[in-house]
């Protein structure tokens, strides 16, 4: 984190709770010297942030309440999409107790007008998001795998197989993919000399020894390396063009095809129909569920929960 702008954003985040933070602790978290920290604090003051300092052993800094990260100007649709995404992220990270996605969602809700909060609360109350699908240590494994992938660093880890067994793996990480609310690592398995996908929530004891590997071209048809949809396939007719649906659809493990003027059909498979029903509703465009029965039931249940969360006789 050598760029001053990136450090200042991180510094604002560390100071956001509004409690004094020791200078030595802030410098360590940012990976800078105390002198560089003082310069960054002065830059924040030049930008209008009233960062207070206290003398003493090591000194401390405080950002008074009411100041924090620079404001984001979101449209109503962007705010709703952000809230839904944070709700799914909170479950996908698999942390014990509230995690960063939970706290970000709370901050977003506090900054929104009451009218928009009501819309988001109704959507979240009506949407069930399965938890426990993320890695055991939440963001830690994802961040380290992402860094190793970017730097082309070999990794080692223990992997729990589907049959309950486990064993050590050595791999060259290529890409992290979020598919059907689960994270997967696409990597070259050095012991098996073949491309493999690993569910990140089954990875433990991650090691990054520091050795790098050359770029390895992916085989043709690499999409087939990821888990395919089950035998039951969801079919949804959107009353909107495919281009408009594709920009908003979060459930990517499927295909969109034209179905007449201004219409398209989405075909997909999933192991969680409740999750798919919520993802389809978050698109915000009119649609009709054509099947299977599991998706129809999940959609009707979602509709019932949404109606109970925002009854017609409740004042907006």
Q: What is the pLDDT of residues 177-200, one digit of tens each?
A: 776 567 788 899 998 898 888 888
Domain boundary among 15, 34, 62: 62
Domain residues for 98?
A: 76-126
Residue 145 within a domain: yes
CATH number, residue 188: 2.30.30
60 pLDDT higher than 70 = yes
The whole-angstrom separation of Cα 81 and Cα 196 is 32
Question: 32 versus 255: which is more confidently predicted?
Answer: 32
Pair 214, 152 in one domain: yes
- The whole-number pLDDT of residue 132 equals 47
Highest mean pLDDT among 61-70, 98-107, 140-149, 158-167: 140-149
The pLDDT confidence band at residue 38, using thresholds 50, 70 and 90, is: confident
Cα torsion angle, 44, 50, 55, 60, sign: negative
**Predicted pLDDT at 136:** 47
66 DSSP assignment: T
Backbone φ, ψ for residue 47 (5° rounding):
-85, 0
Average pLDDT, rounded, for the chain: 76
Query: Looking at 38-42, 76-80, 205-209, 281-285, which range is the least confident one?
Result: 76-80
What H or E segment, with its residue span, contains residue 115? helix 114-126
Q: Starting from the edge strand earliest in sequence, which strands make up the sheet with 21-22, in order?
A: 21-22, 60-62, 52-54
Rounded to an integer, what distance in angstroms lies between the CA atom of residue 2 and that of residue 10? 11
Do the domain assignments include residue 38?
yes
Query: What is the spatial distance between Cα 76 and Cα 82, in angstroms, rounded to a whole number?
Result: 10
For residue 316, being part of any structural domain is answered with: no
Q: Is the per-residue pLDDT at 77 higher than 60?
A: yes
Domain boundary, last residue among 205, 225, 245: 225
102/172: higher pLDDT: 172
User: What is the predicted pLDDT for the residue at 111?
Assistant: 65
Most confident of 5-14, 93-102, 151-160, 279-288: 151-160
Angstrom distance (rounded) from CA 148 to CA 67:
35
- Say yes or no to pLDDT of 67 above 70: no
> Is 201 within the bounds of a domain?
yes
Question: For the CA atoms of the chain, what is the radius of gyration?
Answer: 23
| Coil, strand or helix at 148 | helix
- Residue 147: band (very low, low, confident or very high) from pLDDT cuts 50, 70, 90: confident
pLDDT confidence bin for 170, thresholds 50/70/90: very high
Confidence of residue 225 (pLDDT cuts 50, 70, 90): low
Mean pLDDT of 109-137: 62
pLDDT at 271: 60
Looking at the fold, whether 121 and 153 belong to one and the same domain comes out as no
- Which DSSP symbol is given to 20? -
Contact 274, 298 (CB under 8 A): yes
**For a pLDDT cut of 90, what percent of the chain falls above it?**
12
Beta strands per DSSP E along the chain:
21-22, 52-54, 60-62, 155-160, 166-179, 182-189, 194-199, 203-207, 233-238, 254-258, 264-269, 287-291
CA distance 235 to 10: 44
Position 214 in a domain: yes
Looking at the structure, tell me whether residues 304 and 245 fall in a common domain. Answer: yes
User: What pLDDT does 8 receive?
Assistant: 74
Q: Say which CATH number the domain at 239 has.
A: 3.30.70
pLDDT exceeds cutoff 50 at 14: yes
In terms of Cα–Cα distance, which of 109, 146, 163 is closest to 155?
146
pTM higher than the cut 0.85: no
Same domain, residue pair 91 and 161: no
Domain count, the chain: 4
More confident residue, 166 or 293: 293
What pLDDT sits at residue 213?
93
- Summarize the confidence of residues 141-169 as an average pLDDT: 85
Q: Find the mean pLDDT for residues 259-280.
A: 82
The backbone torsions φ and ψ at residue 172, rounded to the nearest 5 degrees and listed phi first, read: -105, 105
What is the β-pairing status of strands 233-238 and 287-291? antiparallel
58 in any annotated domain: yes
């Amino acid at each position: 984190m050598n760029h001053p702008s990136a450090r200042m954003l991180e510094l604002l985040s560390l100071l956001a709770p509004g409690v004094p933070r020791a200078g030595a602790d802030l410098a360590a978290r940012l990976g800078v010297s105390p002198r560089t920290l003082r310069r960054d604090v002065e830059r924040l003051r030049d930008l209008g942030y009233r960062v207070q300092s206290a003398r003493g052993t090591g000194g401390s800094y405080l950002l008074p309440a009411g100041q924090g990260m620079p404001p984001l100007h979101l449209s109503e649709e962007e705010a709703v999409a952000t809230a839904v995404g944070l709700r799914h992220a909170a479950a996908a990270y698999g942390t014990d107790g509230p995690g960063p996605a939970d706290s970000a969602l709370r901050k977003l809700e506090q900054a929104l007008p009451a009218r928009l909060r009501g819309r988001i609360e109704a959507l979240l109350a009506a949407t069930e998001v399965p938890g426990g699908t993320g890695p055991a240590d939440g963001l830690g494994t994802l961040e380290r795998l992402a860094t190793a992938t970017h730097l082309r660093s070999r990794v080692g880890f223990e992997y729990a197989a589907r049959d309950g067994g486990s064993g050590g793996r050595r791999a060259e990480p290529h890409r992290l993919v979020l598919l059907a609310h689960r994270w997967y690592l696409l990597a070259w398995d050095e012991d098996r000399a073949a491309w493999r996908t690993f569910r990140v929530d089954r990875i433990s004891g991650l090691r990054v020894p520091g050795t790098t590997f050359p770029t390895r071209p992916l085989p043709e048809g690499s999409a087939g390396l990821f888990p395919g949809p089950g035998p039951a396939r969801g079919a949804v007719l959107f009353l909107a063009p495919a281009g408009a649906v594709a920009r908003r659809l979060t459930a990517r493990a499927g295909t969109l095809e034209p179905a007449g003027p201004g219409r398209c059909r989405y075909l997909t498979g999933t192991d969680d129909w409740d999750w798919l029903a919520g993802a389809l509703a978050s698109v915000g465009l009119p649609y009709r569920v054509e099947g299977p029965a599991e998706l129809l039931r999940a959609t009707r249940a979602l509709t019932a929960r949404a109606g109970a969360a925002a009854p017609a006789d409740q004042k907006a």
